[in-house]
Structures are given as C-alpha cells and as structure tokens.
Chains A and B, each alone.
Chain A
Amino acid sequence: MHPTRTKQERRELQERQRAAKAAKTAANGVNGKPQGGKPASQPAAAGGAPSRKAGRVSDAASKLPPAGLAKAVEKAKAGQSSAADQSAKNQARGLLIFSHFGLPKPVSSAKGDIHPVIARTALQFSAFKITGANARCIATLTAFKTVIQDYVTPPNNTLSRHLMTYLSPQISHLVAARPMSVTMGNAIRQLKLDISGSDIDLPEQDAKDALCRKIDTYIRERIIIADQVIQETAGNKIKDGDVILTYARSSVVEKVLLEAHASGRNFSVIVVDSRPMLEGKRLLAVLSDAGIHCTYVLLPALGSVISEVSTVLVGAHSIHTNGAVYSRAGTALVAMMAKRHSVPVVVCCETYKFSETVQLDSFTKNELAPLGDLFSSFPNTKPRESLTLENKPNLEILNPLYDLTPPTCITAVVTEVGVIPPNSISSIPVALGRLL
C-alpha cells in the first residue's frame, strides 16, 4: 500500500468537504447579507479554498503520473467540484480585489483593562466625531496623559519597563476603533522612547509628571508651533487678489487662510468638497464667519472652476519618503487637475507626519468609511429611495477615505523646517537632526 496515496486520498476528501462547505457559505454570504464585511470575507474564503484545491489537484496529478487510478479519481473529483467552485469563484472574483481593505469593524466590548478615557476616545474615533490626523493625535496623547497619571506601578516592577506593556492593550483598543494614523504612530513611538528612557531613580509621581511634560512638549513643538511656522510661510504665498482652492478640511490650511486674512490680505477661497465625509462644509462655515469670500463646489464641478484658481492649498495625512502625499480621498484628483492647468499645488504638512515607508498607490493602505449616511452627506432634495445605501446582491459600496497623490502632481511641501520640493522629502529626518 502506497503511504502517500492514502494520505493523498485523505487530503482530497478533506478538501472536498471543505470546498463544499465553503461553496455553501458563499452562496449564503453573497445573497443575503446587508453588511459589507461578511460578503467580502466569505467569498474571499470560498474563492481561496477552491483555487487552493484546484492547485493541489493538479499538483497531485503531476506528482503521481504512473498511478493511473489515482489520476482518474482526481480528475473525476476536479470535474465535480469545478462546477460548484466556478460559480463561487465568479461571485468571489469581483469582490476579491478590494477584500484587503480594512472594512470597519464595530468596536467590541473592551477586552481587559481599558481605561475609560481610552474607551471614550475610541468611541469618538469610530463615530467620526474626531477626525483629522492632528486632531486624532492630540486626542490620543491627551488620553494617554490621563492614563499615565492614573497608572500605578505594580510591586517588583519599574515604570520604565512596565508602563509600555500596560499601554499596549489601550493602543490596540484605539486601533480597533479606527486604523492608526501615521501621526498617532509617530507620537506613540516617541512616547515609547521617552518611557524607556525615564530615570529609574525618580519617585513614581515625578516620573509620571516628567512623561506628561514630555507629551505636552511634543504636542506644542511638533504640532502647535509647527502650525504657526507653516501659517507664516504658506501665508506669504498668498497675495492680494488670489483665488485659493482647497479640498475638504485640513486644520493647517484653515489656520493658514485665517491668518492670511487677519493680516489684511484680500483673497477669495474656493472650497471643493466631496462625499463620503463632506468635511468642507465645516471649513466653509469657519471661513465665511471670518469674512473671507468663499465659493463652494462639489468635486465634479472642479473642471469648471480650476481655470480661475491661482494656488491650490491642501493638507496631508502623511507624507512618504518618495514625496507622495497620503491625504483625504479626492486630493489626488484636485492635484492632478491643477497640474494640468499649471496651477501650483502646495501641501501644508508638519514634519511629524513624515513616514519612513514608500507608498506606491492608494491600495497599499487605506480605510473604508462605514456604509450608510453617517455624515448626512446626501442632499435633502434627493429622495432617499433613489439612493443605494447598503450592499445588495452583486452590488458593493466602497467609500475609501484616503488616496495617494503622486509626487509629480505636487509643486511644494511647506513644513516647519522649510519649503521642500517633493523629491527631497526624504531629507526631512536630516533637517530635524534625526529627531524623528
């Protein structure tokens, strides 16, 4: 008796059962589920399982050429299952390409000891009450200050070693609410460095106070003061009579525009906005309250207004070493159209948003907004029945929140260490003296 053959037959039987079960769940998953998460993962599994099985069948066939009986058996099985997994594969194919996007998961009940401040911050993140790279980072760091103050070092342990393990589940809870932003990541990395470098001899309260002071310094230097420097530098680029175009809502660009207006320059602003978040309306309210003349358009109208624009000012979520800017979905379109019409695109970005990675397209890392009308982004004039707000069979709704603007579309990046052309972004760590 051939030992490999019996193992083969056992494996084939297992695969057949698994494929049958996967095909059954795929048929259920694609047809009836309203949530976006399940159909993507289940057909992905169904698509994976039959293809794996098909691969293994062909492998087995090639491995045992003289075993004619085994080959005939495998061929029959392949023929049987191919009909079933073909339909599953067809349904799965379309949904597979985007299945790696992290679909939003509901924030589950806290596992382990989650500090109430962290729980509240996580809820605010997942409900999109706090949005924007700077706002999220500041909220995270402020929450951590409270956590650190409430922390008590367990006996036989030191603060510098144990605090980080204590903070890890809190961080995971925040990440489960919404994927971590680059700003949060950089800030937490800095915090870890500070914690591990804190003096062992200090009494606990002093050590905690020192950490909180370091956090405050980080916020003040890397965000608040950086923003002030950027306000001045970018503000100098705005001249009287300019028409500035901005997209969605960047906290930095808002500050730049308010500062330029306060210093007496006379300019007008075009705010371009788009679903899913329709954040531009908030910026519009702030700017028009300050007395700046604004025009508001949705993204498809961009082609009609771009010819009148003198500068495009946008913010960023993060910038990468190759000069690509990862920002709110739609920024890439604005930058591309501006470049086509020879309008300079200026990105206002603090250095703590710099990420060492290189990102090539918007798929490597992205986030999907939850389905439904979370942001009340549909006009009231549109009857709700004519809208598709949830997934249906054969129809999936995707709302990516970010996209990547290639460095060719960007003219300059304004940071607190200077105005940098996009292909020199990798020199930011050098400019900061490797403080990153």
Chain B
Amino acid sequence: MGPELHTIHGHRAVETLAAKLRRRQVVGSREAALETVLVLRQVVSRARFSNIQQLIAIIREVGRRLAEAQPKEHTVGNTVRRVLHNIREEANSATKAPSATTSRNVYTISKFVLQGQPRKQTASVPKSEAIATLREDDPDDPDSFARGLKPVLMEAIQDVLDELETVYENVSKNAKDHIHSDEIILTIGHSKTVEAFLKSAAHYRNYTVIVAETGPSYSGHDMARSLSNAGISTFLVPDSSIFAIMSRVNKVILGAHAILANGGLVAVAGSLLAATAAQAHSTPVVVCAGQFKLTPLWNLYHDYGALDFADPSSVLGFEEGKLVERVDVVNPYYDYVGPELVDVFITNDGDHPPSSVYRLIKETYDDDDHEL
C-alpha cells in the first residue's frame, strides 16, 4: 500500500487544503487547481524517495486525499494527474537512453495506443546504455536520486503552475478571430474564462452580449456588470427568455466546470437550456475552458448526485411558510451538456472539437492515473 499520509513531509499543508476544500472555502476551479499545485510543490520538495515509484505513490496518496475532500471539484484530481504525468516524463528522460526520445518523431498507431503507458515500456531499456548520472535505489546514498532529480521535478511543477496562471491570457489569444463585428453573443452565468475571452475580443471588435442571469444564483448579474464596465454593450435577461431571443443570437459561449472524457461538459445550471435552444436554431455553441478542466472520467453524469445540489432556500425560502414542509425543492448547481450539443472547445492549448477530447486526455494524462 502507499505511504501513510502522516509520514509524508508537508502533510500539514495537505490537511489544510483538504479542510478548505471540504468546507468549500476554495472558490473557483482555477483557485483549487492553483492551491493544489502549490501543495504538491511543497510535498515534492520535502519528499524523500529513492526511486520514482515511491514519489509517485506519495503524490497519488496526496491526490486521493484532496480529491476525497471535495469530489465535485474535479480540477484538484486533474492537477495531480498533470503533475504526475510531467514528473514521470522528466524522470524518464533523466534516467533513460536518449535513443528512446528520437523515436518519438515517428507517429505510428502502436505509438499512439501505447502513449498512455510509455513508462513501463521504456523502463526495460538497459541502463548500461544510459548516460544518466542518476541511479535509482542506490544503496550507498539513498538520497542521491532524489537530490539529483528534484530540480528537474520542480521545473516540471513550475510548468504546470505557469500554465495555470496564464490560462485566461492563452484562452483569449484568438478571441478576435472567433467573434466578428456586430455579433450578438449569448452567455450564461459568470465564468471568468468567458469574461476574459469577451473582454479581450472587445479590444478589436464591437459587438453585443446577452447575459442570461441563471437562477437561483443569479451570477449573470455580476457578469453583466463586469462586461458593461469594460465597455461592451450588454443585455441582461432572465433564463425564461433564452428561447425567445435565440433567433437573434449568432453564437453561444459557455463556460465549463469540468470537461468529461466523452467530450461532454459539466457546466452551471441553465447551460443545457442554452445549448439545446442553440441547437434548435442551428446556432454554434462554443465552450471556453482551461485545459486543467479536462477530466479523464466517464459516466459522471449518470450519478444523480454528480450535479452538486445547492441550498434550496434560495428557490423556496422559509418566508413561504407552510409550503416549505409540503413541497420538494430541487436545486442542482450544475447541468450535464452532452457532446452532441457543443461545437468547439476553446482551451489555452488551442481549439478542439468534442470528438477529439479523448485524444487530448490521452496526451495530457497517464492511463495509470485515471483512478488515483
């Protein structure tokens, strides 16, 4: 079994973050991802290991702990998987033969199928060919492996951190190519990624945004205020009029909470209405999300509880008196939107149709890590 949590150095930081996640004090997927990376960086910097498998076991234990604290916050697990993927890559390039790296240029079907599991394969390369100065499980100096590898690992983790910090800029890079002049865009709720996207496009184009305030959180109000303060002409409409105005809308831009492995997404409640209405009017649906939201999990949506229900008193409050005890109230926070309703995902790593999400997942994460 993996190492016990309390033996991991830096476990206090892990506990703190787990507590914050459990109490939902970390607000926003990107914040959760950033905090996770920082905790992992602490853990790795203080970890003691003599071969790479030990380090991976440590990180997986940490990841399992954090993911259990808040199972609906998928970016925590995604970040852990990303870090694991980077670490494996760095470790293997530091310890294995250089000839293995040149064969990467040849892209064959077998290469692609094995892409998720290259580590097991290349581990069989005889170490005698390696020019590596690192030796695993050195009996004389058990820390030499860790010492030599740590700078490289820190760099790998820093890469993940940099990517997370520049998510908004990279997603908005090509915003002006996606939005034309005089377009009418519909968006729903308050997504920071979509907000950055629209504001970046507003520097080059004049267009109109219609924001659907999604009840009962009414986060659309914040979005509308923020966009209008940036000089974009904005309309704020209630969700009931989404179908009514859809005939005038040129594009629907949604944010995502998580992108599932089948190309579907989990998004704020009301997104399914907007996406379905858009399909009925043949309007393109664009989803803006950072790549850290890619989740290698399937069938999350069959679980009724996957929708993460929120406080029913914002739907039917106690001021309604007798109704409260006689009536059931359902207040899901998220909607599952199927891949057939989405036309393109705009991520910080480029634009992808939902049919190629599985390939992105193969390239970003290792197959072993799907279940932490």
What per-residue 1/0 map shows which CB atoms of B312-334 lie under 8 Å from chain A?
A: 01111101101100111111100
The count of chain A contact residues (Cβ–Cβ below 8 Å) is: 59
Instruction: Report the separation of the CA atoms of residues A188 and B257 in the bound assembly, to the nearest whole angstrom.
Output: 53
Q: Do A380 and B319 have beta carbons less than 8 Å apart?
A: yes
B248 at the A/B interface (Cβ < 8 Å)?
yes
Extra contacts besides A298-B239, A304-B335, A393-B228 (20): CB < 8 Å: A275-B240, A281-B316, A284-B323, A288-B326, A295-B328, A299-B273, A301-B330, A303-B272, A329-B238, A330-B240, A332-B243, A333-B239, A362-B241, A366-B244, A379-B216, A379-B315, A394-B229, A396-B234, A396-B236, A400-B240
Q: Which residues of A contact B322 (CB under 8 A)?
A: 288
Instruction: Report the separation of the CA atoms of residues A332 and B313 in the bound assembly, to the nearest whole angstrom.
Output: 27
B68 at the A/B interface (Cβ < 8 Å)?
no
Q: 14 interchain pairs (CB within 8 A)? A: A284-B323, A288-B327, A297-B331, A329-B240, A329-B244, A333-B239, A362-B247, A387-B221, A388-B224, A394-B234, A395-B227, A397-B236, A399-B241, A403-B244
What per-residue 1/0 map shows which CB atoms of A62-95 lie under 8 Å from chain B?
A: 0000000000000000000000000000110111
Q: Do B247 and A93 have beta carbons less than 8 Å apart?
A: no
- Tell me what chain A mostly uses at the interface: helix, strand, loop, or mixed: mixed
A382 at the A/B interface (Cβ < 8 Å)?
yes
Question: From A91, which residue of chain B is reached at the shortest CB distance?
Answer: B233
Question: From A96, which residue of chain B is reached at the shortest CB distance?
Answer: B208
Point out which of A97, A300, A304, A330 has the most chain B C-beta atoms below 10 A from its C-beta: A300
B235 at the A/B interface (Cβ < 8 Å)?
yes
What per-residue 1/0 map shows which CB atoms of A246-267 lie under 8 Å from chain B?
A: 0000000000000000000000
Instruction: Report the separation of the CA atoms of residues A317 and B332 in the bound assembly, to the nearest whole angstrom.
Output: 30
Chain A contacts to B: CB under 8 angstroms: 90-91, 93-95, 97-98, 274-276, 281, 284-285, 288, 293-305, 328-330, 332-333, 336-337, 340, 361-363, 366, 378-382, 386-388, 392-400, 402-404
A405 to chain B, nearest CB (A): 8
B74 to chain A, nearest CB (A): 19
Which of B237, B240, B244 touches A404 (beta carbons < 8 Å)?
A: B244
Instruction: Report the separation of the CA atoms of residues A94 and B234 in the bound assembly, to the nearest whole angstrom.
Output: 8
Q: How many A-B residue pairs have CB under 8 A?
A: 191
Instruction: Report the separation of the CA atoms of residues A298 and B207 in the bound assembly, to the nearest whole angstrom.
Output: 30
B228 to chain A, nearest CB (A): 4
What per-residue 1/0 map shows which CB atoms of B263-296 lie under 8 Å from chain A?
A: 0000011101100110010000000000000000
Q: Which residues of B contact A276 (CB under 8 A)?
A: 238, 240
B218 at the A/B interface (Cβ < 8 Å)?
yes
Q: Do A299 and B236 have beta carbons less than 8 Å apart?
A: no
Q: Do A285 and B323 have beta carbons less than 8 Å apart?
A: yes
Point out which of A298, A387, A393, A396 has the most chain B C-beta atoms below 10 A from its C-beta: A298
Q: Which residues of B contact A333 (CB under 8 A)?
A: 239-240, 242-243, 273, 277
Q: Do A300 and B214 have beta carbons less than 8 Å apart?
A: yes
Instruction: Report the separation of the CA atoms of residues A295 and B239 in the bound assembly, to the nearest whole angstrom.
Output: 19
Q: Do B215 and A93 have beta carbons less than 8 Å apart?
A: no
Q: Do B329 and A295 have beta carbons less than 8 Å apart?
A: yes
Q: Which residues of B contact A329 (CB under 8 A)?
A: 238, 240-241, 244
Q: Which residues of A contact B313 (CB under 8 A)?
A: 379, 381
B352 to chain A, nearest CB (A): 24
B336 at the A/B interface (Cβ < 8 Å)?
yes
Point out which of A337, A380, A398 has the most chain B C-beta atoms below 10 A from its C-beta: A398
B370 to chain A, nearest CB (A): 26
B148 at the A/B interface (Cβ < 8 Å)?
no
A264 to chain B, nearest CB (A): 20
Instruction: Report the separation of the CA atoms of residues A362 and B247 in the bound assembly, to the nearest whole angstrom.
Output: 9
B303 to chain A, nearest CB (A): 12
Q: Which residues of A contact B269 (CB under 8 A)?
A: 300-301, 303
Q: Do A330 and B330 have beta carbons less than 8 Å apart?
A: no
B28 at the A/B interface (Cβ < 8 Å)?
no
Which of A330, A366, A394, A404 touches B233 (beta carbons < 8 Å)?
A: A394
B194 at the A/B interface (Cβ < 8 Å)?
no
Q: Which residues of A contact B224 (CB under 8 A)?
A: 388, 395
Question: From B304, which residue of chain A is reached at the shortest CB distance?
Answer: A304
Instruction: Report the separation of the CA atoms of residues A299 and B240 in the bound assembly, to the nearest whole angstrom.
Output: 7
A188 to chain B, nearest CB (A): 27
Q: Do A93 and B244 have beta carbons less than 8 Å apart?
A: no
B307 at the A/B interface (Cβ < 8 Å)?
yes
Instruction: Report the separation of the CA atoms of residues A300 and B326 in the bound assembly, to the nearest whole angstrom.
Output: 22
Instruction: Report the separation of the CA atoms of residues A427 and B224 in the bound assembly, to the nearest whole angstrom.
Output: 46
Q: Do B234 and A362 have beta carbons less than 8 Å apart?
A: no
Q: Do B221 and A97 have beta carbons less than 8 Å apart?
A: no
Q: Which residues of B contact A363 (CB under 8 A)?
A: 244, 247-248
Q: Which residues of B contact A337 (CB under 8 A)?
A: 272-273, 276
Instruction: Report the separation of the CA atoms of residues A350 and B97 in the bound assembly, to the nearest whole angstrom.
Output: 81
Q: Which residues of B contact A97 (CB under 8 A)?
A: 184, 208, 248
B267 to chain A, nearest CB (A): 11
Q: Do A381 and B328 have beta carbons less than 8 Å apart?
A: no
Given contacts A97-B184, A294-B327, A379-B313, contact A336 B276 (CB under 8 A): yes
B151 at the A/B interface (Cβ < 8 Å)?
no
Q: Which residues of A contact B182 (CB under 8 A)?
A: 93
B225 at the A/B interface (Cβ < 8 Å)?
yes
B159 at the A/B interface (Cβ < 8 Å)?
no
B196 at the A/B interface (Cβ < 8 Å)?
no
Q: Do B225 and A388 have beta carbons less than 8 Å apart?
A: yes
Q: Which residues of A contact B42 (CB under 8 A)?
A: none
Q: Which residues of A contact B327 (CB under 8 A)?
A: 284, 288, 294-296
B175 at the A/B interface (Cβ < 8 Å)?
no
Q: Do A95 and B233 have beta carbons less than 8 Å apart?
A: yes
Q: Which residues of A contact B280 (CB under 8 A)?
A: 336
Q: Which residues of A contact B169 (CB under 8 A)?
A: none
Given contacts A275-B239, A394-B231, contact A388 B221 (CB under 8 A): yes
Q: Which residues of A contact B225 (CB under 8 A)?
A: 388, 392, 395
Instruction: Report the separation of the CA atoms of residues A402 and B218 in the bound assembly, to the nearest whole angstrom.
Output: 21
Which of A275, A281, A295, A303 touches B273 (beta carbons < 8 Å)?
A: A303
Q: Do A336 and B328 have beta carbons less than 8 Å apart?
A: no
Q: Which residues of A contact B89 (CB under 8 A)?
A: none
**Which A-B residue pairs are the 6 nearest by beta carbons?**
A330-B240, A94-B233, A300-B270, A362-B244, A395-B228, A403-B244
Point out which of B182, B229, B236, B243 has the most chain A C-beta atoms below 10 A from its C-beta: B243
Given contacts A295-B327, A295-B328, A399-B241, contact A300 B236 (CB under 8 A): no
